[in-house]
């Protein structure tokens, strides 16, 4: 691990300090405090009831599955889950918040502490400290594009369960923020806590960013950037905001504590409003909800039920299968890839070859279609055919391409495409003799000591055989026939 130095992280004599607040939707079928569905894309205001509409007299009941998933997420981040946490009301007025407050957690969150390791482009593998994870409900959505000149409100999202994950101010560049988000998403998807889809709104990011002189122990005045709809845009927005702050400070002005919205079309950030101090929300414990009490046995049970997480998988792929770090990182990035890789190895493929095939040929069609068209056992057979010399690596690529659209065995496809390598000594000798007869000058030079011409002869035989000759079989035949 490379230690942080001012030289690697400073831009134009300034050090950037970033902390992220990430909201992830917990993967439940129903909302946080009522039974309404959480399904995405339903017609506006169809998944609502007196509780999530905030009608008088309606009482919230916590969703046990949402709590379980939040605990699981907190444990996956290495956090300490508290046996008692408290739901609090966060009071503010906004048209998409019918109750006039959001149920969240404030001074007693579900979990504190933890860390996420990520690959910094500047500093290598680094941990980001997690300050806290708390449970809250989502607000509704204001729609500005449905009715010309008017704003409509859709309350389907009101009350959807969220976990908010707050990181420490440990990130030192916009690129680091992006990499941290990738690592965090990987972890939460692995643990089955959230789908983490920015397109469907199940992962949202608010970023706090400030700049200071390298070595200055005090943090600069921060701005909060919102409205970023992809990890790439988080990076772009933070670059824009860093430049804005550098411009202010270098021209002798000051950074104000503001909330900014990112405009992806223009790449600019613009101020929304002066940042409310947290006491403006007048948090207080929700009188409708008793403190959330979890017993130690339940927390221990959730800890034990966690699957092997990405860092552990990566380390195991290196230790157990001897994969290079890069291959292990790609295979470990998603659970279906790990399962596919291990099934291919179990079916007899050599691990490094299985990983090569996964990275070079399997990954792209899987990303496009979401399914593995070539079953692990068929890929293992194909890998075995390359290893035994039955087909060349190049021919195997063509066979794999056919396998994507056919359930036939690779051997059958190889035969159909005429790609089975010829190792029959008689046939190889025939081709070798034709090649030597056609190139008497090269034969003379080889016999005169120009050993490097062997490659030329092998190439000619491959050409003559239309790629079907097994190069490993050709060489000894050539060596024999070229003897003076
Ligand atoms: Zn409801």
pLDDT at residue 274, rounded to an integer: 56
Q: Are residues 56 and 170 in the same domain?
A: yes
Q: Do the domain assignments include residue 42?
A: yes
Q: Are residues 316 and 206 in the same domain?
A: no
Residue 197 three-state SS? coil
Q: Are residues 233 and 366 in the same domain?
A: no
> Token pair of 380, please?
């293992």
pLDDT at residue 422, rounded to an integer: 83
Name residues whose C-beta falls within 8 Å of residue 336's C-beta, 6 or more positions apart in sequence.
366, 372
Rounded to the nearest whole angstrom, what is the distance from the C-alpha of residue 50 to the centroid of ligand 1?
6
Rounded to the nearest whole angstrom, what is the distance from the C-alpha of residue 204 to the centroid of ligand 1?
22
Final residue belonging to a domain, choices 302, 323, 347: 302
Rounded to the nearest whole angstrom, what is the distance from the C-alpha of residue 282 to the centroid of ligand 1?
25
Rounded to the nearest whole angstrom, what is the distance from the C-alpha of residue 203 to the centroid of ligand 1?
21
Rounded to the nearest whole angstrom, what is the distance from the C-alpha of residue 243 to the centroid of ligand 1?
43
- Confirm if 21 and 168 have CB atoms less than 8 A apart: no
pLDDT at residue 466, rounded to an integer: 79
Q: Are residues 127 and 161 in the same domain?
A: yes
Q: Do the domain assignments include residue 104?
A: yes
> Token pair of 328, please?
């292990």
Q: Long-range contacts of range 32-36, CB-CB < 8 Å, 24 or more positions apart?
A: 32/60, 32/62, 32/63, 32/66, 32/103, 32/135, 32/136, 32/137, 32/159, 32/160, 32/161, 32/162, 33/60, 33/61, 33/62, 33/63, 33/103, 33/137, 33/159, 34/58, 34/60, 34/61, 34/159, 36/159
Final residue belonging to a domain, choices 341, 372, 388: 388
CA distance 373 to 365: 8
Rounded to the nearest whole angstrom, what is the distance from the C-alpha of residue 51 to the centroid of ligand 1?
5
Q: Do the domain assignments include residue 217?
A: yes
Rounded to the nearest whole angstrom, what is the distance from the C-alpha of residue 30 to the centroid of ligand 1?
8
Rounded to 10°, the helix 454-464/440-447 angle is 150
Rounded to the nearest whole angstrom, what is the distance from the C-alpha of residue 33 to the centroid of ligand 1?
7
Q: Are residues 435 and 328 in the same domain?
A: no
Q: Do the domain assignments include residue 163?
A: yes
DSSP summary character for residue 205: E
pLDDT at residue 10, rounded to an integer: 56
Q: Are residues 269 and 362 in the same domain?
A: no
> Token pair of 59, please?
């009482």
Q: How remote is the C-alpha of 63 from its chain's centroid?
A: 28
For residue 52, the enclosing domain spans 6-302
Rounded to the nearest whole angstrom, what is the distance from the C-alpha of residue 155 to the centroid of ligand 1?
9
Q: Do the domain assignments include residue 170?
A: yes
Rounded to the nearest whole angstrom, what is the distance from the C-alpha of residue 157 to the centroid of ligand 1?
9
Rounded to the nearest whole angstrom, what is the distance from the C-alpha of residue 456 to the centroid of ligand 1?
76
Rounded to the nearest whole angstrom, what is the distance from the C-alpha of residue 162 to the centroid of ligand 1?
15
Rounded to the nearest whole angstrom, what is the distance from the C-alpha of residue 183 to the centroid of ligand 1?
33
Rounded to the nearest whole angstrom, what is the distance from the C-alpha of residue 75 to the centroid of ligand 1?
28
Q: Are residues 297 and 313 in the same domain?
A: no
Q: What's this model's pTM, rounded to 2 decimal places? A: 0.82
- Confirm if 464 and 431 have CB atoms less than 8 A apart: yes
Q: Are residues 298 and 330 in the same domain?
A: no
Q: Are residues 326 and 295 in the same domain?
A: no
Q: Do the domain assignments include residue 414?
A: no
Q: Do the domain assignments include residue 399?
A: no
Q: Do the domain assignments include residue 115?
A: yes
Rounded to the nearest whole angstrom, what is the distance from the C-alpha of residue 278 to the centroid of ligand 1?
27
Rounded to the nearest whole angstrom, what is the distance from the C-alpha of residue 138 to the centroid of ligand 1?
12
Look at the chain and report how many structural domains it folds into: 3
Final residue belonging to a domain, choices 388, 409, 435: 388
CA distance 229 to 198: 6
Q: What residues does 224 pair with on adjacent strands?
A: 208, 259
Rounded to the nearest whole angstrom, what is the distance from the C-alpha of residue 106 to the centroid of ligand 1?
23
For every one of its 484 residues, what pLDDT tens digit does the chain have, with 9 covering 90 and above? 344 443 444 567 999 999 999 999 999 999 999 999 999 989 999 999 999 999 999 999 999 999 999 999 999 999 999 999 999 999 998 889 999 999 999 999 999 999 999 999 999 999 999 999 999 999 999 998 889 999 999 999 999 999 999 999 999 999 999 999 999 999 999 999 999 999 888 999 999 999 999 999 999 999 999 989 899 999 999 999 999 999 999 999 999 888 999 999 999 999 876 554 445 888 999 999 999 999 999 999 999 999 999 999 999 999 999 999 999 999 999 999 999 999 999 999 999 999 999 999 999 999 999 999 999 999 999 999 999 888 888 889 999 999 999 999 999 999 998 888 888 889 899 999 999 999 999 999 999 999 999 999 999 998 888 778 888 889 999 999 998 7
CA distance 427 to 433: 10
How far is the CA of 372 from the CAs of 86, 337, 343, 349, 361, in angstroms? 45, 10, 12, 17, 11
Q: Tell me the CATH number at 443.
A: 1.10.10.410
Q: Are residues 177 and 288 in the same domain?
A: yes
Q: How remote is the C-alpha of 113 from its chain's centroid?
A: 22
Q: Are residues 343 and 464 in the same domain?
A: no
Rounded to the nearest whole angstrom, what is the distance from the C-alpha of residue 146 to the centroid of ligand 1?
23
Rounded to the nearest whole angstrom, what is the distance from the C-alpha of residue 103 to the centroid of ligand 1?
14
Q: Are residues 471 and 378 in the same domain?
A: no
């Amino acid at each position: 691990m490379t230690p942080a130095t001012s030289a690697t992280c400073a831009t134009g004599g300034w050090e950037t300090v970033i902390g992220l607040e990430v909201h992830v939707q917990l993967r439940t079928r129903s909302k946080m405090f009522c039974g309404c569905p959480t399904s995405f894309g339903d017609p506006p205001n169809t998944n609502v009831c007196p509780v999530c509409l905030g009608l008088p007299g309606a009482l919230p009941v916590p969703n046990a599955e949402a709590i379980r998933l939040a605990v699981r997420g907190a444990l996956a981040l290495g956090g300490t889950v508290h046996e008692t946490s408290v739901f609090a009301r966060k009071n503010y007025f906004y048209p998409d918040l019918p109750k006039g407050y959001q149920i969240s957690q404030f001074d007693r969150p579900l979990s504190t502490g933890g860390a996420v390791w990520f690959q910094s482009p500047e500093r290598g593998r680094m941990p980001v400290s997690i300050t806290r994870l708390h449970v809250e409900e989502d607000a509704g959505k204001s729609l500005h594009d449905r009715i010309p000149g008017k704003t409509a409100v859709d309350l389907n999202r009101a009350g959807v369960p969220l976990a908010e994950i707050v990181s420490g101010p440990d990130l030192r560049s916009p690129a680091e923020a992006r990499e941290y988000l990738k690592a965090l998403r990987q972890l939460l998807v692995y643990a089955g806590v959230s789908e983490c889809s920015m397109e469907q709104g199940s992962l949202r990011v608010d970023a706090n960013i400030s700049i200071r002189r390298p070595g200055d122990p005090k943090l600069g005045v921060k701005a909060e950037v919102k409205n970023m709809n992809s990890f790439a845009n988080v990076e772009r927005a933070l670059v824009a905001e860093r430049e804005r702050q550098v411009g202010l400070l270098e021209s002798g002005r000051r950074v104000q504590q503001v909330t900014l919205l990112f405009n992806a079309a223009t790449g600019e950030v613009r101020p929304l409003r002066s940042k409310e101090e947290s006491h403006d929300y007048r948090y207080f414990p929700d009188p409708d909800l008793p403190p959330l009490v979890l017993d130690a046995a339940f927390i221990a049970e959730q800890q034990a039920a966690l699957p092997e997480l990405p860092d552990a998988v990566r380390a195991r792929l290196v230790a157990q299968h001897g994969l290079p770090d890069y291959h292990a990182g790609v295979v470990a990035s998603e659970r279906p890839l790990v399962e596919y890789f291990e099934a291919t190895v179990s079916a007899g493929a050599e691990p490094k070859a299985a990983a090569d095939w996964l990275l070079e040929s399997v990954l792209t069609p899987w990303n496009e279609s979401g399914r593995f068209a070539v079953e692990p056992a068929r890929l293992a057979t194909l890998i075995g055919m390359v290893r035994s010399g039955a087909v060349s690596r190049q021919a195997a690529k063509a066979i794999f391409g056919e396998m994507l659209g056919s359930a036939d065995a690779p051997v059958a496809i190889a035969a159909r495409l005429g790609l089975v390598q010829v190792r029959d000594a008689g046939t190889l000798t025939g081709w070798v003799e034709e090649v030597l007869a056609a190139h008497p000058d090269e034969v003379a030079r080889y016999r005169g000591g120009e050993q490097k011409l062997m490659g030329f002869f092998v190439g000619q035989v491959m050409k003559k055989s239309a790629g079907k000759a097994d190069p490993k079989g050709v060489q000894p035949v050539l060596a024999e026939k070229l003897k003076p």
